[in-house]
């Protein structure tokens, strides 16, 4: 186990209305087996002991699945490692003397609440618009009564793996939530359970994206590059197809 | 404190249907007149909120995270059990019931466990109908795998992300009800108190994490789905925000707390590697299906694992338990790992780890097959440890994972406070002294989708309700109490940091005390010492904790401090409970009570009961009550997995 010394430039902002800016901290003796968030814990413990305000950041499971953590590290959402959430990024990927610029996930639809902590409730409202199968509890037919080809189920699972972290939005030059929305639309469009509401779902979820102030996709592919779960932009192609079919036949 | 379990009479397989018939209902047209609060949006809370709203009740749902989709159920990897018997390998509702009650070492209520097994099949149907992408066979039918403590394949799974997929299913159902207006969703709220009016739960007091404001919410019934308390140990596999506060505040308002010392230590976690560590990561138990657990035979063997020939390895689980082998229940696997390490045969830099080896499975089934089954777990392991399990064996060690103890509930999942229900990990009801793998997801969804609505209808249908208001005296008192307490926590923070300590320092000290004395093995001496030490740590907290910032803003240090303050109080009944139970059972190994082969030795004559703790004020010691466990349909035996 070795340790490294770092310079951190972290976005500090007291609240949504306050003006923010980067502040510089030096942090020595960081063990390379630490996770990125544990490195921030160490910084916060140090700031606390100095009587200063620690850096606010969202986090919960620290296993890369809840989707709560996330920050832009040196310009890349969730940092430099591919398919890795910030909590699963370990300090062995940095070296002594490195300067890390740490900023919140920025987007028009994600207002900063404090430091690195942003409001992503817009993503919840997109799901509320139709990201589900409308079945009430009870009375479902036997689970094996609906055979689904394993390959199709796997494709649906690839899309369903989205953790809703918002890295796709933060890295998109247009601030689009297309990768997020398309993951849910794909999952349900691929499965027989999603067929009944297929068109309605595509229309409603896309409409909600617009209401929330997300931008449009121009195939920059930044979202796919940073997605910690490796969600492919093929899902966006599928969303476009779903949307077009729905508009032409329903709209 | 009266403990009436309200277990229905009649034969085991008729109890649940008899009970549903005997329970009162609420007319569909009247349901909108009733309001229900649900705290927590994990599998239990999200499914309960959606189901109650679908039935027509007005629901207010609260969660601590920024979105209901992030509750810690999401981290469950391995799977969910059901008695479908799709594999035709001899499974049945009765077998799932029996495995669960035996796995829990005969410390759970028969009727509750049977009902759990009974509704398990409906859960799978429901989740498939929602579009949960479970793993499938090539013919399109659902795939199953086996899990620790069972000899049948009854576990349904979605890669290593079963919890995530089930939770997103329930979150979808909840989102639909939010859209319809029947659920009002309050995210980023932390529950601080239950409001009791005329002896019944009528609301909650919460802190708005974004503004610091203390809010009151009134309703006709309150459901807690607030998870477990594993973070009392500081290091656990729980999410960082998981805490005991909601359950503990309910306890202080009169809800009995059952079996608080029953904590599951999961055998396959990534070992601790440093003081800075903030949490532990679980590796799904499903890995034990193909991984072989071993340590070197000789304790001074420092060769690389690949250089140690089979003849110098001790596959201790396979040798000791030939019929279950690596698939023994979690408590047995954990204890044996500790035993090997205590004998000095542990591996890795700390000596607190054992190998979990896939070499033979890779040779047998091929790299592709093993990668398909466990690839995402292997990736996760490699990210954390920088070691590839396809090349060298994993190193694992037990870690705190799940709490079987929780708020005491009757058959209707109601606590000893009328109108206050507890579901999911938050209650104590189904897992006895040890939970089997893939049963937590089953219980959370059973409680939320299929049980709680019946209980709520009965409660609402048998009681009269005046309208409760946030302006009533009980609500105002509760708000004042919460505000005073926060002010007290912040009291030491004026005048700088000299001579002060941080919340995490105190939490780590508490965690060490609990892990050393009330962890995998317990004895009278250690427990008594811990009980004596606890007040000192508590005092340090109240006299010396330093918190930056104020109450009226986002203040994550203050959030943590409130939780640690409750853990410090709660630890007291955990230790007392472990002391009072002078037998070993399931997870609870009292070193004084072991068989000759060092297995947990139960004492049914004296301890076949649920211990239920009553809070009697700050100055008085808590009082323990007993709910006797009566076994009419199974005969408790000494568990044997040989």
Q: Which residue of A has its CA nearest to B550?
A: A53
Q: Is B330 a catalytic residue?
A: yes
A187 in contact with chain B, both atoms CB, cutoff 8 A: yes
Residues of B in contact with A104 (CB under 8 A): none
Residues B494, B367, single domain; the answer is: no
Reported as a single tens digit per residue, the pLDDT across B345-380 is: 999 988 999 999 999 999 999 999 999 888 888 998
Q: Which residue of chain B comes nearest to A114, CA vs CA?
A: B554
Which positions in chain A touch B276 (Cβ < 8 Å)? Answer: 31, 34, 38, 41-42
In B, which residues are within 8 Å of A1 by CB distance?
Answer: 273-274
* A179 interfacial to chain B (CB closer than 8 Å): no
A&B contacts, CB < 8 Å: 222
Decide if B11 is inside a domain. no
Residue-wise pLDDT for A30-75, tens only, equals 999 999 999 999 999 999 999 999 999 999 999 999 999 999 999 9
- Please tell me the predicted confidence (pLDDT) of residue A173: 97
Q: Which of B69, B137, B240 sits opposite A164 (nearest CB)?
A: B69
On whether residue B489 sits in a domain, the answer given is: yes
Backbone angles phi, psi at B421, to 5 degrees: -110, 155
Question: Which of A35, A53, A160 is closest, CB to CB, to B548?
Answer: A53
> How confident is the prediction for chain A on average, in pLDDT?
97
Same domain, B367 and B279: yes
Instruction: State the Cα–Cα distance between residues B529 and B456, nearest whole angstrom.
Output: 43
Q: Give start and end residues of each alpha helix (H) in B144-244.
A: 162-180
CB contact under 8 A, B497 and A141: no
Of B400, B420, B441, at which residue does a domain stop? B400
Residue B553 to residue A114, Cβ atoms within 8 A = yes
Shared-domain flag, residues B483 and B596: yes
Residue A207 sits at the chain B interface (C-beta within 8 Å): no
Interchain contact, B67 vs A123, CB within 8 Å: yes
Asked if B487 and B369 sit in the same domain, the reply is no
**H or E element at residue B214:** strand B214-218
| ipTM of model over 0.90 | yes
What pLDDT is stored for residue B285 in this prediction? 85
Say yes or no to pLDDT of B150 above 60.
yes
Nearest to A45 among B139, B504, B554 (CB): B504
Q: What is the pLDDT of residue B373?
A: 84
Backbone angle region of B507, left / alpha / beta, with phi > 0 → left and psi within -120 to 50 → alpha? alpha
Residue pLDDT, tens place only, B209-218: 999 999 999 9
Does the residue B390 lie in any domain? yes
Min Cα distance B130 → chain A (Å) is 5
Taking the Cβ of residue A17 and every Cβ of chain B, the question of whether any pair is shorter than 8 Å is answered with: no
| Element of type H or E holding A213 | none
User: Considering only CB atoms, which chain B residues are within 8 Å of A144?
Assistant: 84, 86, 141-142
Are B5 and B411 a contacting pair, CB within 8 Å? Answer: yes
pLDDT at A1: 61
Interface test with A, best of B136, B386, B505, B506 (most A CBs within 10 A): B136
Would the CB atoms of B140 and A150 count as touching at under 8 Å?
yes
Q: A interface mutation test: which of B44, B48, B126, B133 has the most A CBs within 10 A?
A: B133
What domains are defined for chain A?
3-114 (3.10.20.30), 121-249 (1.10.1060.10)
Is residue B314, in this structure, part of any structural domain at all? yes
- Model pLDDT, residue B78: 85
Q: Is B97 among the domain residues?
A: no
Residue B194: name the closest of B3, B62, B73 by CA. Answer: B62
pLDDT tens, position by position, A173-215: 999 999 999 999 999 999 999 999 999 999 999 999 999 999 9
CB contact under 8 A, B66 and A59: no
Residue B638 lies in a domain: no
Question: Of the candidates B335, B368, B400, which is a domain's last residue?
Answer: B400
Distance (Å, whole) CA B377 – CA A26: 34
Q: What is the mean pLDDT of residues B297-312?
A: 93
pLDDT of residue A251: 56
User: Which listed residue (B107, B109, B330, B335) is catalytic?
Assistant: B330
Q: Which residues of A touch B158 (CB under 8 A)?
A: 157, 160
Choosing among A60, A142, A185, which should be mutated to test the B contact, i.e. which has the most B CBs within 10 A? A60
**pLDDT band per the 50, 70, 90 thresholds, residue B600:** confident
The pair phi, psi for residue B144, each rounded to 5°, is -135, 155
- How far is CA B134 from its chain centroid? 23
For residue B163, the chain A residues in CB contact (below 8 A) are 65
CB contact under 8 A, A133 and B126: no
Nearest CB among B175, B383, B549 relative to A132 is that of B175
By the CB < 8 Å criterion, does A38 face chain B? yes
Q: Both B392 and B478 in a single domain?
A: no
Q: Inter-chain contact B125–A133, Cβ cutoff 8 Å?
A: no
Mean pLDDT to the nearest integer, B387-396? 96
Instruction: Show Cβ contacts of residue B469 under 8 Å, excluding neighbours closer than 6 positions.
Output: B218, B475
Is the same domain home to B577 and B480?
A: yes
- Give the CATH number, domain containing residue B573: 1.20.58.100
| B window 19-58, beta carbon within 8 A of A | 47, 50-51, 54
Interface of B with A in 449-488 (CB under 8 A): 449-450, 453
A18 to chain B nearest CA, in Å?
13
Percent of chain A with pLDDT over 90: 98
Q: Are B388 and B374 in contact (CB under 8 A)?
A: no
Residue B452 is predicted with a pLDDT of 98
Using alpha carbons, select from B292, B127, B136, B481 the residue that is nearest to residue A150.
Answer: B136
Is residue B246 one of the residues assigned to a domain? no
Say if residues A174 and A218 touch (Cβ distance below 8 Å): yes
**Do B387 and B290 fall within a single domain?**
yes
Summarize the confidence of residues B70-89 as an average pLDDT: 96
Same domain, B480 and B388: no
The answer, for A160 touching chain B at a CB cutoff of 8 Å, is yes
Q: Would the CB atoms of B131 and A191 count as touching at under 8 Å? A: yes
Nearest CB to A148 within list B136, B279, B449: B136
Give the residue from A137, A183, A191, A229 with the most B CB atoms within 10 Å of its CB, the best one to mutate.
A137
Q: How many whole angstroms from its chain centre is CA B421?
A: 16
**CATH, residue B345:** 3.90.700.10
Mean of the per-residue pLDDT values of chain B? 96
What's the CA gap between B577 and B580, in Å, rounded? 5
Which residue of chain B has the CA closest to A137?
B51
Q: Is A137 on the interface with B (CB under 8 A)?
A: yes
Question: A94, A61, A238, A81: which is closest to A167 by C-alpha?
Answer: A81
Nearest by CB to A150, which of B138, B384, B556?
A: B138
The whole-angstrom separation of Cα B500 and Cα B503 is: 10
How many angstroms away from the CA of A137 is the closest CA of chain B? 6
Region B293-316 average pLDDT: 94
Which among B456, B375, B447 has a CA at the least distance from the CA of B135? B375
Going by C-alpha positions, the residue among A175, A182, A178 that lies closest to residue A159 is A182
Q: Which of B371, B400, B429 is the last residue of a domain?
A: B400
Is the same domain home to B486 and B603? yes
Sequence-distant (6+) residues with CB within 8 A of A175 are: A107, A108, A109, A169, A213, A214, A215
> Does residue A24 register a pLDDT over 70?
yes
Q: What's the rounded Cα separation, in Å, for the pair B321 and B460?
A: 50
Give a yes or no: residue B623 inside a domain. no
The token pair that represents B191 in the structure block? 């529950």
Q: Is the pLDDT of residue B149 over 80?
A: no
Residues 40-59 of chain A with CB under 8 A from chain B are: 41-42, 45, 47-54, 56, 58-59
Q: Cα dist. B165→B168, B269, B341, B444 in Å? A: 5, 22, 36, 14
CA distance A10 to A222: 23
Same domain? For B395 and B478 the reply is no
User: How many CB atoms within 10 Å of residue B628?
Assistant: 9
- pLDDT, mean of residues B50-75: 98
Kindly list the residues from chain A whose CB atom is less than 8 angstroms away from the CB atom of residue B127. Answer: 143
Are B298 and B396 within one domain? yes
Q: Domain check: are B376 and B497 in the same one?
A: no
Boundaries of domain holding B325: 266-400
Q: What residues contact A130, with CB distance under 8 A and at least 6 apart?
A: A197, A200, A201, A204, A205, A208
**Residue B147 pLDDT class (50, 70, 90 cuts):** confident
Please give the structure tokens belonging to residue B348.
Answer: 């890795």
Confidence (pTM)? 0.97
Quick check: A157 contacting B, CB < 8 Å? Answer: yes
Closest partner residue to A124 (CB to CB) among B175, B379, B553 is: B175
User: How many separate domains does chain B show?
Assistant: 2
């Amino acid at each position: 186990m070795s340790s490294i010394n770092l310079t951190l430039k972290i976005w500090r902002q007291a609240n949504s209305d306050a003006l923010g800016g980067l502040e510089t901290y030096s942090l020595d003796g960081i063990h390379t087996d630490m996770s990125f968030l544990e490195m921030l814990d160490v910084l916060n413990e140090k700031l606390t002991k100095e009587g200063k305000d620690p850096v606010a950041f969202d986090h919960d499971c620290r296993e890369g699945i809840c989707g709560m953590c996330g920050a832009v590290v040196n310009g890349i959402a969730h940092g430099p490692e591919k398919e890795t959430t910030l909590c699963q990024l370990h300090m062995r990927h940095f070296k002594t003397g490195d300067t890390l610029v740490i900023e919140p996930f920025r987007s028009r639809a994600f207002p900063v609440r404090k430091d690195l902590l942003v409001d992503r409730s817009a993503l919840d409202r997109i799901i509320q618009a139709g990201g589900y199968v409308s079945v009430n509890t009870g009375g479902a037919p036997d689970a094996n009564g609906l055979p689904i080809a394993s390959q199709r189920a796997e494709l649906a699972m690839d899309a369903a793996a989205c953790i809703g972290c918002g890295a796709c939005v933060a890295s998109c030059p247009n601030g689009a939530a297309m990768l997020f929305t398309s993951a849910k639309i794909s999952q349900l469009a691929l499965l027989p359970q999603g067929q009944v509401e297929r068109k309605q779902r595509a229309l409603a979820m896309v409409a909600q994206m617009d209401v929330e102030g997300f931008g449009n996709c121009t195939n920059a592919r930044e979202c796919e590059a940073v997605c910690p779960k490796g969600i492919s932009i093929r899902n966006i192609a599928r969303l476009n197809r779903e949307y077009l079919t729905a508009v032409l036949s329903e709209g | 404190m009266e403990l009436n379990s309200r277990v229905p009479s009649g034969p085991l397989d008729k109890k649940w249907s008899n009970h549903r018939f005997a329970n009162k209902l609420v007319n569909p047209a009247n349901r909108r007149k009733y309001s229900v609060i649900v705290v927590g949006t994990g599998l239990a809370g999200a499914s309960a909120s959606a189901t109650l709203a679908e039935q027509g009740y007005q629901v207010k749902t609260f969660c601590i995270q920024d979105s209901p989709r992030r509750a810690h159920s999401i981290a469950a990897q391995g799977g969910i059990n059901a008695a479908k018997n799709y594999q035709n390998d001899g499974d049945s509702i009765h077998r799932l019931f029996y495995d669960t009650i035996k796995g829990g070492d005969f410390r759970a209520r028969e009727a509750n466990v049977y009902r759990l097994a009974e509704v398990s099949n409906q859960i799978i149907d429901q989740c498939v109908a929602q579009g949960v992408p479970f793993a499938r066979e090539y013919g399109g039918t659902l795939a199953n795998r086996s899990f620790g403590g069972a000899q049948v394949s009854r576990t349904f799974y979605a890669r290593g992300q079963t919890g995530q997929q089930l939770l997103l299913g329930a979150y979808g159902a909840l989102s639909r009800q939010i859209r319809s207006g029947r659920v009002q969703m309050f995210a980023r709220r932390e529950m601080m108190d239950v409001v009791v009016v005329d002896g019944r739960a009528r609301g909650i007091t919460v802190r708005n994490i974004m503004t610091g404001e203390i809010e009151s919410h009134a309703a006709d019934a309150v459901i807690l789905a607030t998870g477990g308390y594993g973070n009392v140990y500081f290091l656990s596999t729980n999410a960082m925000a998981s805490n005991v506060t909601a359950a503990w505040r309910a306890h202080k308002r009169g809800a009995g707390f059952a079996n608080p010392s029953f904590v599951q230590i999961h055998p396959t976690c990534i070992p601790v590697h440093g003081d800075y560590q903030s949490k532990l990561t679980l590796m799904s138990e499903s890995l034990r299906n193909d991984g072989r657990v071993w340590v070197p035979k000789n304790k001074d063997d420092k060769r690389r694992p690949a250089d140690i020939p089979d003849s110098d390895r001790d596959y201790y689980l396979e040798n000791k338990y030939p019929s279950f082998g690596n698939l023994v229940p979690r408590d047995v696997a954990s204890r044996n790992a500790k035993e090997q390490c205590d004998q000095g045969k542990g591996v890795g830099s700390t000596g607190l780890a054992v190998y979990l080896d896939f070499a033979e499975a890779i040779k047998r089934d091929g790299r592709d097959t093993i990668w398909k089954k466990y690839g995402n777990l292997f990736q996760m392991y490699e990210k954390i440890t920088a070691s590839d399990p396809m090349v060298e064996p994993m190193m694992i060690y037990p870690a705190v994972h799940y709490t079987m103890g929780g708020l005491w509930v009757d058959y209707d999942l109601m606590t000893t406070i009328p109108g206050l229900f507890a579901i999911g990990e938050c209650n104590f009801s189904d897992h006895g002294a040890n939970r089997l793998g893939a049963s937590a997801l089953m219980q959370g969804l059973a409680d939320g989708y299929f049980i709680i609505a019946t209980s709520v209808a009965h409660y609402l249908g048998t009681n009269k309700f005046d309208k409760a208001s946030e302006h009533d005296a009980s609500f105002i008192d509760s708000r004042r109490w919460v505000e005073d307490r926060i002010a007290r926590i912040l009291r030491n923070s004026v005048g700088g940091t000299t001579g002060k300590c941080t919340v995490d320092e105190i939490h780590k000290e508490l965690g060490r005390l609990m892990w050393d004395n009330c962890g995998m093995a317990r004895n009278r001496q250690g427990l008594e010492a811990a009980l004596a030490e606890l007040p000192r740590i508590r005092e340090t907290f109240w006299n010396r904790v330093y918190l930056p910032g104020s109450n009226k803003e986002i203040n994550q240090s203050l959030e943590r401090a409130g939780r640690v303050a409750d853990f410090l109080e709660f630890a007291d009944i955990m230790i007392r409970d472990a002391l009072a139970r002078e037998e070993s059972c399931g997870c609870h190994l009292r070193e004084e009570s072991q068989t000759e082969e060092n297995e947990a030795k139960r004492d049914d004559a004296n301890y076949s009961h649920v211990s239920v703790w009553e809070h009697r004020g700050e100055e008085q010691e808590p009082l323990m009550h007993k709910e006797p466990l009566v076994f009419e349909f199974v005969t408790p035996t000494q568990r044997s997995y040989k």
